[in-house]
Amino acid sequence: MQVADAIVVGGGPAGSSCAWKLREAGLDVLVLDRAKFPRPKLCAGWVTPEAMSDLELDPNDYPLSLMTFDELHLHWKMLSAKPKSRQHSIRRFEFDEFLLQRAGATVLRHKVREIQRDGGDYIVDDAFRCKYLVGAGGTACPVYRAFFHERNPHNSALQTATYEQEFAYDWKDPACHLWFFDDGLPGYAWYVPKAGGYINVGLGGMAEQLKQQGGNVRDYWGKFVDKLTKRGLVSYDQYNPTGYSYFLRGDVDIVSDRNAYIVGDSVGLATRDMCEGIGPAIKSGLLAARAIATGEEYSLAGINRFSGGGLPSKLLERKFAGAQ
Ligand SMILES: Cc1cc2nc3c(=O)[nH]c(=O)nc-3n(C[C@H](O)[C@H](O)[C@H](O)COP(=O)(O)OP(=O)(O)OC[C@H]3O[C@@H](n4cnc5c(N)ncnc54)[C@H](O)[C@@H]3O)c2cc1C
């Protein structure tokens, strides 16, 4: 049996941030992830300056693909606006691998299936033992499922459905575009150029509202890519988009229990207006690590529910999570 002070299940931004600070505090940390890194992660890869600062990363020093936008191009019906809002784009394929390596923890490829309590310890798949267990496994996190789901179920009214693709593309327009509520989509679509000749295009909406409308997020794809072509933004004939679902911030009451902690998408922490999950994932990972290292309470109180930052927050919150 392999023993560590702490096991972190999932090596995305939540898990790697937590592992990084646990290592700094002197703990022996094992990260288990079912994927081999670098791994693809469906995500537009829009990262806020606050998230970079939480990571103690100066964008100028980040050695991989990063672009900075000083304004966003927002579109709603016939209206367009360009609010000042400094944001960055990264490629998750690179970013997550970079953060995980920097964390300095032992990383093993392993899909976690079963977790048991044994006295004050946790035993994972009869192969790993630890005192502290961190669930950073995203929407289907096995730590959440084992110890938190029953008392703290995710709210289906806050579930998003997304559909997107990232690919090599010689883009010409270096702006980040967002289109809201096109054709009744209860969400928005995006065009996010990346440094190094990549682009991410996709759309997302609230899953329950899509269902009530009798459709799903895939129904909007055809019109969206037609629009990209008509606007001269992307002309591409090999689309092969993929879907993924995650939860926005609800009233999550229980995030730690007997040395087990949940962070990032396993809790459902993405913002209620823009569905931004990277920043909250990082913050929660850092807070859980601090709680483990110092014994102070782990609380989500310091993690924003809204992205704000020049974005039409109130309108989006009402539209995205109207059931709340
Ligand atoms: C299409 C799309 C676009 C998005 N765009 C943005 C954006 O532009 N900006 C933004 O801030 N947020 C965005 N988000 C949200 C953001 O991607 C997530 O909130 C963020 O990745 C959460 O990080 P995490 O570390 O909690 O989970 P993840 O990044 O999902 O990492 C979880 C890890 O756990 C591993 N894992 C899962 N199950 C197991 C298991 N049983 N055993 C071992 N390992 C396991 C997975 O392999 C994975 O590596 C987007 C999401 C989607 C789907």
Does residue 321 carry a pLDDT above 60? no
pLDDT in tens, 105-129: 999 999 999 999 999 999 999 999 9
Mean residue pLDDT across the chain? 94
Q: Which atom of ligand 1 is nearest to the CA of 266?
A: 26
What is the whole-number distance in angstroms between the Cα of residue 119 and the centre of ligand 1? 31
Residue nearest to atom 19 of ligand 1 (CA): 277
Distance separating alpha carbons of residues 308 and 323, to the nearest angstrom:
20
Residue nearest to atom 30 of ligand 1 (CA): 138
Confidence check: pLDDT of 206 > 60: yes
Distance from Cα 265 to the centre of ligand 1, integer Å: 6
**How many CA atoms does the CB half-sphere of 118 hold within 13 Å?**
13
State whether the beta carbon of 193 lies less than 6 angstroms from ligand 1.
no
Residue 270's φ and ψ, nearest 5 degrees, are -65, 150
Q: Would you list the domain boundaries of the chain?
A: 2-70+87-156+248-307, 157-245
Does position 256 have pLDDT exceeding 50, yes or no? yes
Q: Residue 237, class by beta-carbon neighbours within 10 Å (0-12 exposed, 13-18 middle, 19+ buried)?
A: exposed
Position in ligand 1 atom list of the atom nearest CA 263: 26
Question: Ligand 1, from 17, 20, 34: best to mutate by most atoms within 8 Å of Cβ?
Answer: 34
* Pocket flag, ligand 1, residue 136 (CB < 6 Å): yes
Question: What is the SS3 string spanning the chain?
Answer: CEEEEEEEECCCHHHHHHHHHHHHCCCCEEEEECCCCCCCCCCCCEECHHHHHHCCCCHHHCCCCEEEEEECEEEECCEEECCEEEEEEECHHHHHHHHHHHHCCEEEECCCCCEEEECCEEEECCCEEEEEEEECCHHHCHHHHHHCCCCCCCCHHHEEEEEEEEEECCCCCCCCEEEECHHHCCEEEEEEEECCCEEEEEEEEEHHHHHHCCCCHHHHHHHHHHHHHHCCCCCCCCCCCEEEEEEECCCCCCCEECCEEECHHHCCCECCCCCCCHHHHHHHHHHHHHHHHHCCCCCCCCCCCCCCCCCCHHHHHHHHCCCC
Is the separation of the CB atoms in 88 and 65 below 8 Å? no
Ligand 1 centre to CA of 246 (Å) is: 8
pTM reported for the whole predicted model: 0.96
**pLDDT (0 to 100) of residue 251:** 84
The pLDDT of residue 310 is above 90 = no
pLDDT at residue 313 above 80?
no
Q: Is the CB of 161 under 6 A from ligand 1?
A: no
For residue 316, the model assigns a pLDDT of 63
Q: Which atom of ligand 1 is nearest to the CA of 32?
A: 43
> Which architecture characterizes domain 157-245 according to CATH?
2-Layer Sandwich (3.30)
Which fold does the domain 2-70+87-156+248-307 belong to in CATH? Answer: FAD/NAD(P)-binding domain (3.50.50)
For residue 77, how far is its CA from the centre of ligand 1 (angstroms)?
Answer: 30
Residue type, 170: D
- 259-273: pLDDT as tens digits: 999 999 999 999 998
Cβ of 166 below 6 Å from ligand 1: no
Q: Does the CB atom of residue 11 touch ligand 1 within 6 A?
A: yes
28-78: pLDDT as tens digits = 999 999 999 999 999 999 999 999 999 999 999 999 999 999 999 999 998
Sequence-distant (6+) residues with CB within 8 A of 24 are none
Question: Amino acid identity, residue 303?
Answer: I
45 lines ligand 1 (CB under 6 A): yes
